[in-house]
Structure 1
Amino acid sequence: MNNFEKNMFQPTLLTFNKNRITSKRPENNRVSSWGTMHLLIYLAILSDLESGKLSPYQEIYFSEEAAKEQATLRSTQGYAGERRFLCDVLNQAISLNAPDCIIALNDVYGGVAGTLRRVSEFWYVSNYSKLAATGRKKFPQLSNLYDYYKIGEAFLKLSETSFSFIENRDHYIHGKWYRAQSPLDGKNNVIASIYWGTNQNECLMFYKKAGVLTCSLVINGKDYLHSTGMALDMVQLSKEFSIENETFDSQKEWLDQTFEGYFLNEALAEKVVIEHTVFDPNPIKRRNWENVAYISLSAKDYKAMVPSTDRKFHGNEMILRYKLEEELSVIITDEPIPALKNKIPQYIVPNSLLFAYQYATYRMENYHGKFCAVTGSAGKSSTRLILSHLLSKKRKVFENFGNANLHYPTLGLSLEIHDHYDFILFEAAVGAMNRLGYGNNAYFWQTDVVIMTSFGSAHANGGIERNLMVKEQLFHSVKEGGYVVINKDIEKQYLSKIIKRAESLNLNTLFSSLTDTTADCYVIDKKVLKEKTEISASFRGREICFSLTTDSNGQIQNAMNALLAIDSMGYPAEEYAELLESFESFEKILRPNELIIDSKKITVIDDTHNSSIESMMNGIDHFTSKKPFYKGEKLLVLGEVADLGNDAAVHHERLIPNINRANPDQVILYGEPFKDLELDVKQVTWCKTIEQVTETIIEKSSEDSLVFVKGSHGIGFYKVVDQLKKLSETT
């Protein structure tokens, strides 16, 4: 095991109750080669026993697959066709870590595939931690510490009576006694425990501490005694092994000594120089990078991160097809490319995706700059762009390309974390923190501050509560003593849960608000002008003033969040506030366009970058604030918000108060959820097509009209403004 593997696989303890983590979190990424499927099936069955969906005395059938485990360690020699009670098989699986019993439990859900569907429905644990149905080792399986933590949290939510099903006990099966792995259950304060690993290396131990049900999670213990001693705080944890400040004579030596792999042609290896690393070719030309290492992914591993893809070829084929080798300094791949053996260094690894995950972890653990991550239903991109605008004037910043904020691109971005950059600024959507591949990318990030810009019904198609649960996972990236900046104007039903998650991780919290004077930063006064808004804010006990030309309430809050984040990283916000006036967001975020159509001069505010109900509310209010500066007709043009599922119409009804308050001269609507909206405004037009929307704008507008256009990118609503611009160019 090389030094880097020693670092990732260190013995690690995490202690927590259902309210908070009670031990110090590890400083760096911690993983295990054991899996999670055994724990997830226990959890699913216990939950379904509690709800009455299952009976403890229903019979479990041992399948042919279960019988195949007879020769494996700790099998109870279950034979095909054998039947036992569910409560017995469950306890045998747990008490004995019996693989045949674990496989037999899948019968409850119709087999392994059915169990995967059942556990994926509730517990957002990484897919590559579930490669082995028994939870045993299976390359390239890895489980993150926080995968296990989420499972432990779910166990703590069970009723205490359910722990009687998992309390370790001996079993007499087929004329033979099988001794439980742990003799501690039911003694002193220990209620139950689950051990796994060849030598009981890992465990979840449940016990009462000061009357509170508590869990100790141990991974990478040496054996049962060591794991138990760690869980009971009887073994002093050694100082964390560190890979920081290691020095190497060459980058060949660094690769050879840090990772598992070899060079296909040693003669070329000494020439290797790596300044940038990618697994997607697009950044190479976009950034004009040189000395680039390219990690080539198999079709299977690429699909593990981009499930919707039709790609059926290895990344090696892309190198050959587009002659990428001319732009690369080394290829890192799990399949050699014989045709390039003598042309470019190739570093051959067991699995390219596993290498990418380890490489990103290594880069993160050796980074010494500041790291801020941003999430939320709306405002992610704008907040990140504000931070970049403020910080890049004096320092070097690395950030997302455009608004590429899902799993695949953010893992790709993580490969580039390096001390070249003073600041890392990543925005992360729900899709960056899901279970794809090795799971939530935030688990190996080490951020100084995380910003929660907003939360609401964006992408409600996947479930609002699920989205909130996933977005909160970004908080796990924050270092001990770090900060979370939270929009305090988020609806209370969601805000309380966000705060609870931050508190559970013992993080410092800072709040921004447009109106709440208890927040760390709130608006004292604002003066709306035609071209900008001037803001005076209370900021951590002092007053700060700034101006914005991209100046909706949402953008004001984004600016306050950015200033709080900068201040929390040790840079006085006052030194950056004056730079806000020159900030411009993406082209289609609150961008005013002066157009002449049919000899009429109109102002079209383009806000079609994307949309959520929350951002649409902000946009409508922005339209309201700008109305007094225009003499012509005021047109509010709204396209539906996408990805809201079956409740789309209900979510769109939330816009009614904002639209009525805006009191536009004309309301033009597009999309089925708007069709039956009942408004106080008299002049309302519902359009069937985007072309009809454009035609209606031209018809209803007048000299010096204000036209505000807002809608989701996914429905193509940006085409409305594009069509208006094209018409303006031809007149």
Structure 2
Amino acid sequence: METLNDKYLWNSDLLETITEGTSSRYWECKRIEIDSRKVKKGDLFLALKGKNFDGHDFILDSIRSGASAAMVKTDFKVKNKKFYNIVVKDVLKSLFLIAKESRKRAEKLYNTRFIAITGSSGKTSTKEMMKAAFSAIGKTYASPGSYNNHIGVPYSLANIYKNSDFGVFEIGMNKLNEVKNLSLLVNPHLALITNIAEAHIGNFHSLEDIMIAKTEIFQGLRADGYAIINRDLTFYEKIKSIASKVGIRNLVTFGTNKKSDVYLKSRRLIKEGQILVVNAFGKDYEYKIRFNGLHQVLNSLSVLAALIAFECDPDKGLKALYSVPVPSGRGIKHYIYIKNQESVVIDDSYNANPSSMEASIKALKEMSGKNRSIIIIGDMKELGKFSKPLHERIADFIIRFKIDLVFCVGAESRAVHKKLNYKTKSYWFKNVSDLQTIDFINILLPGDYILIKGSRIMEMEKLVKYLIKNCVKR
């Protein structure tokens, strides 16, 4: 039976029932963990098997870190007598079963309301804003980091706190039916689509196919739930039609379009973020966010829409938004010194697609003002046959916004360098290491604003660290 101790999230008796597994003896755990490096005292370690690793190889590490027990596919013999376990047929399937039970328990016992967020970009930033806003209203759990795939979502659900009033989850995808399956698992009371762009378009035939994949989030939305949609999207009418066909009755829109239920009236840049005036259902709200760029403003509008949909106090929730730090690698500013004068590095290195790249370039120009604007751009991956034209589109965007200097990194970014064709000064490098070897800092000038952005695999964050380390006040 389930423990009455709120200190623990799960126990062996309950997990045996859920997974049809067999435990070595009774034990309790505070949390579920799938990464042995992150195990803390009292965790249950799930020995998942991946393409390049097998969690069973790290069970001893998890025990040394204080795991209460481990979930294993087959018996695992260890010398440590304190090692407890639960044996199941399939560890990943068991994680899904635990997630389903966790979702059911949260609503049944604690009346938790669930929010699911998808979109081509901005999911994590929006999730963090949602978390802050709803934490000002009640106890709120949000998925950690960018845990938004077929493992990350059930992992996050399995760990939702007891007594949570709200649960916020992001849902990602790179092919059809992924969003659908994860949305059915989360079964949200509110579903949000931040935007539709060419992320992962190499796995699809067209941008419209990506739109269809993102609208799969409606499949898991409760019948009485709310769909929140960006009215500025090119596909807005089609998304609205799809929502209607699946029976969604409650639709809330946001954007710059004044026909939106929640729309931006004005914004003003400040040193650390922006001050916004937003109209929601006829009432004006003024609040601040630490994030830069119009794209982040729109993300905050969706938070206001969610607060109103759930009949929460908007002012209370919005006030909390300025406390949200910009997540690492998603536009966070670092102040560096070039020739002993302050300059700025904008670390947007976590990931990139054409739409997010354009949004970051716009934000760069806004922030730089009369200072030089510089971009260090890495390849945008998973674009398939669309890679060259989409990289060339970024070159056109750079020219249009009169960026002063560009460093291109990676084979696919060479298309950007070639398309710039001396209209904008640019350099091309095979990889991050090659750029570092030329000591490119000598090309920079005091007061420069430097945007660093590329796909995750490009390791653009190394350049951020390089600049922070080497550009200090002497």
TM superposition score category, shorter chain reference: 0.7 to 0.9
Q: Which residue of the other structure, out of 314, 327, 334, is the alignment partner of 2:66? A: 327
State the one-letter code of the partner of 1:523: L
Q: Which residue of the other structure, out of 595, 598, 620, is the alignment partner of 2:361? A: 620
- Counterparts of 2:430 and 2:77 in 1: how far apart (Å)? 56
Map 1:133-532 onto structure 2 (within 5 A).
Answer: 254-255=14-15, 260-264=20-24, 268-269=25-26, 272-285=27-40, 290=42, 292-297=43-48, 302-303=49-50, 309-311=51-53, 313=54, 315-319=55-59, 321-322=60-61, 324=63, 327-337=66-76, 339=78, 343-368=82-107, 369-393=112-136, 395-430=138-173, 440-463=181-204, 464-492=207-235, 495-507=236-248, 508-514=250-256, 516-532=257-273
Q: Is the 8 A contact 2:231 2:260 kept in 1?
A: yes
575-584 vs 274-283, which deviates more?
274-283
State the one-letter code of the partner of 2:405: Q
Change (3 A) 1:583 1:433: farther
For the aligned residues, what is the CA RMSD?
A: 3.1
Change (3 A) 1:262 1:706: closer
Shift of 1:553: 0.6
TM-superposition CA deviations, 1:158-201 (whole Å, max 9, x none): xxxxxxxxxxxxxxxxxxxxxxxxxxxxxxxxxxxxxxxxxxxx
Please name the residue that 1:649 is paired with. Answer: 388
Q: Which runs of 5+ in 2 are unaligned?
A: 1-9
Shift of 1:446: 1.9
Map 1:116-131 onto structure 2 (within 5 A).
Answer: none
Change (3 A) 1:339 1:506: same
TM-superposition CA deviations, 1:428-483 (whole Å, max 9, x none): 210597569xx923222221112111111112221145443333222222111111
Q: Is the 8 A contact 1:616 1:710 kept in 2?
A: yes
Change (3 A) 1:341 1:544: same
- Counterparts of 1:343 and 1:656 in 2: how far apart (Å)? 60
Change (3 A) 1:341 1:258: farther
TM-superposition CA deviations, 1:40-67 (whole Å, max 9, x none): xxxxxxxxxxxxxxxxxxxxxxxxxxxx
Q: Is the 8 A contact 1:390 1:580 kept in 2?
A: yes
- Counterparts of 2:153 and 2:118 in 1: how far apart (Å)? 13
Q: Is the 8 A contact 1:536 1:545 kept in 2?
A: yes
SS at match of 1:407: coil
Shift of 1:342: 6.7
State the one-letter code of the partner of 2:432: I
Q: Is the 8 A contact 1:363 1:418 kept in 2?
A: no
Please name the residue that 1:535 is paired with. Answer: 276
Q: Is the 8 A contact 1:633 1:704 kept in 2?
A: yes
State the one-letter code of the partner of 2:368: K
Please name the residue that 1:215 is paired with. Answer: none
Shift of 1:378: 0.8
Matched pairs, number: 454
Shift of 1:254: 4.1
- Counterparts of 1:513 and 1:676 in 2: how far apart (Å)? 35
Change (3 A) 1:323 1:563: closer
Q: Is the 8 A contact 2:116 2:170 kept in 1?
A: yes
- Counterparts of 2:272 and 2:185 in 1: how far apart (Å)? 43
- Counterparts of 1:383 and 1:512 in 2: how far apart (Å)? 14
TM-superposition CA deviations, 1:675-697 (whole Å, max 9, x none): 32147944344444435656585
Percent same amino acid among aligned pairs?
20
Shift of 1:316: 4.3
Q: Is the 8 A contact 1:608 1:710 kept in 2?
A: yes
Q: Is the 8 A contact 1:549 1:583 kept in 2?
A: yes
TM-superposition CA deviations, 1:326-351 (whole Å, max 9, x none): 73444444423455797455444444
Q: Is the 8 A contact 1:449 1:483 kept in 2?
A: yes
- Counterparts of 2:47 and 2:406 in 1: how far apart (Å)? 51
Matched, 1:674 2:416: yes
Change (3 A) 1:673 1:510: farther
Q: Which runs of 5+ in 1 are unaligned?
A: 1-249, 304-308
Q: Which residue of the other structure, out of 596, 601, 618, is the alignment partner of 2:337? A: 596
Matched, 1:662 2:409: no
Q: Which residue of the other structure, out of 560, 566, 570, is the alignment partner of 2:307? A: 566
Which one has the largest radius of gyration?
1
Change (3 A) 1:274 1:636: closer
SS at match of 1:586: coil
Change (3 A) 1:407 1:259: closer
When the two structures are superposed, what TM-score results if normalisation uses the length of structure 1? 0.57
Change (3 A) 1:598 1:569: same
Please name the residue that 2:448 is paired with. Answer: 705
State the one-letter code of the partner of 1:673: A
Please name the residue that 1:129 is paired with. Answer: none
